[in-house]
Amino acid sequence: MDLTLTPKHRALREEVDAFIAAHRGAAPRPGGGRKRPDRKALDWQALLLEHGYFARTIPREYGGFGAPHDVIELAIIADAFSRAGISPGIHNQGISMLVPTLLEVGTEEQKRRWIGPTIRGETIWCQGYSEPGSGSDLAAAQTRAVVEDGHFVINGQKIWTSSAHFADMMFLLCRTEPDKSKHAGLSYLLLPMSAPGIEVRPLRTMTGRAEFNETFFTDVRVPVDQIVMGRGDGWHVANVTLKYERMLLGDPNKLQQRLEAIRRMMEQPGADGARLLDRAEWRDRLLRLQGEVIAARNHNMRLLTETAEGVDSGLGRFIVKYHGTMLAHRLASLALDVMGSTGLLYEPQGEVAEDDPATTWQIDYMYDIGLIIGGGSSNIQKNIIGERGLGLPREPKAAVPAGRN
């Protein structure tokens, strides 16, 4: 364990603070970002990429900053942005899930083609995993693709596809080898949402907006080389993506941002002139959460170090999604309580305009429950923690065999 800051680290910290001071006016509001990035967000992203505050360790030839991996540098940057309450850049399914997947298992051609536009926020991806009959049981996916004259021809239906209504591309899990066993019959394809035969039907969520969709495929054609790894490797690739998705959903920097935002609210005097931070019971709620966020951030540093050293963290990694999403839920819960009845006001704007703070917190509070479910529900995480992390025996199989393969 050596966390001494080198002169280089100290210089970086000053540099980031100076950057934030100089540019904070150009930053879009953090959080609530489940829309297509607007001009402001894209310009901010470009600025962050240019300075190496985003995609810092992604090689230059793929559009990143190309810095060597240094967890302390990453922590310094994340910390500066969350302390200042400034957007750390875009985090979406393409950037946080597909890009690391391609870096891990994609071909050279795929990395060169997709990573640059994705991290710049220009190419938006959606995730075609869940189907009406297969959510937790993801490997039971029935959407199928057959090969015909150099193309996969896709038919079927996906559901809960976040962002599909504005995405440019999809990474799709589908069945290409129907005669193989459940897990061995899947492939992971990349396809443009503009392909003929794709129909996207928005689904309204509890927030009142349509953040996700049903996606229907009728004879959708995709060139056979638009596959990550090979035919039948889909389950493996899907799980690589899920690994990154679960890290994203448990992101401690987001938690830290929230904690800071709540602290700022609690410092403001209320209608009666008193500050909640001065009341022991409120302060204690905040401090408990702060303790948990510190633990999550330290844990994240440990995981980043292990990743950089090529160690698979196993259990340490399996707990991140469940832990982080529950903590996020409790942070949003505190935010709602701090705002009290004035925080109940709710007028979500359309796709472009920014929401007011109360509406944003209410959306976060609801969305957090969505994220407790999405990306593998808490129960599925607990099964993974128990079975893969702790080596407990699996649940006995049902007496009645599954209807599907």
Partner 1 sequence: MRFGLTEDQGLFGRSLRGFLADRLPLDALRRLAETGTGFDAELWRGLGELGLHGLLVPEEHGGAGLGMLDAALAAEALGYHAAPAPFAAALVMAVQAFRSAGDAEQQRQWLPRIAQGQARIGLGFAGLAGQTGRAALRLEGGRLSGALDGLMDGGEATHFLAYLPDGRAALIEAGAPGVTATLRRSVDRTRALVDLDLAGAAPVALLQSSNDPLAAARRVRDAGRVMLAADTLGAAQNMLDRAVAYAKERVQFGRVIGSFQGVKYMCADMATMLEPCRAMVWYAAYAQDAVPEEAAMVAAHAKAHLAEVGREVARLATEVHGGMGFTDLLGLHHQFKRITFDRQVLGGPERCRHDAAVAQGWVAA
Ligand X SMILES: Cc1cc2nc3c(=O)[nH]c(=O)nc-3n(C[C@H](O)[C@H](O)[C@H](O)COP(=O)(O)OP(=O)(O)OC[C@H]3O[C@@H](n4cnc5c(N)ncnc54)[C@H](O)[C@@H]3O)c2cc1C
In 222-237, which positions are buried (b, 16+ CB within 10 angstroms) versus exposed (e)? bebebbbbebbbbbbb
- Which amino acid, one-letter code, is at 390? L
Kindly write out the interface string for residues 236-275 of this chain, putting x where it contacts ligand X by CB under 6 A and - elsewhere.
----------------------------------------
| Residue 162 binding result from partner 1, ligand X, none, given CB thresholds of 5 to 8 Å by partner type | ligand X
| Residue 329 binding result from partner 1, ligand X, none, given CB thresholds of 5 to 8 Å by partner type | partner 1
In the complex, minimum distance from the CB of residue 62 to partner 1, in angstroms, rounded to a whole number: 33
Binding status of residue 374 toward ligand X by CB under 6 A: yes
- Contact segment (CB under 6 A) with ligand X among 107-115, 244-252, 346-354, 377-385 equals 377-385
In 238-267, which positions are buried (b, 16+ CB within 10 angstroms) versus exposed (e)? bebbbbbbbbbbbbbbbbbbbbbbbbebbe
Pairwise CA distance, residues 400 & 144, whole Å: 25
**Is 309 tagged catalytic?**
no
Nearer to ligand X, 161 or 253 (CB): 161
Beta partners for residue 146, in sequence order: 153
Kindly write out the interface string for residues 119-158 of this chain, putting x where it contacts ligand X by CB under 6 A and - elsewhere.
-------xxxxx----xx----------------------
| Residue 161 binding result from ligand X, partner 1, none, given CB thresholds of 5 to 8 Å by partner type | ligand X
Q: To 5 degrees, how large is the angle CA 326–CA 330–CA 336?
A: 145
Write the burial class of residue 91 (CB in 10 Å: 0-12 exposed, 13-18 middle, 19+ buried): middle
Q: Please identify which residue in 53, 160, 244, 365 interacts with ligand X, judged by CB under 6 A.
A: 160
Q: What is the 3-state secondary structure (H, E, C) of 92-157?
A: CHHHHHHHHHHHHHCCHHHHHHHHHHHHCCCCCEEEECCECCECCCHHHCCCEEEEECCEEEEEEE
3-state secondary structure of 321: helix
Window 244 to 303, contacts with partner 1 (CB under 8 A): 270-272, 279, 281-282
3-state secondary structure of 331: helix
- Extract the tokens encoding 13: 């910290």
| Residue 282 binding result from ligand X, partner 1, none, given CB thresholds of 5 to 8 Å by partner type | partner 1
Question: What residues line the site for partner 1 (CB under 8 A)?
Answer: 130, 133-137, 140, 159-160, 203-206, 208, 270-272, 279, 281-282, 329, 333, 336-337, 339-347, 362, 365-366, 369-370, 372-374, 377-379, 382-383, 395, 398, 400-404
Question: What residues line the site for ligand X (CB under 6 A)?
Answer: 126-130, 135-136, 160-162, 212, 370-371, 373-377, 379-380, 383
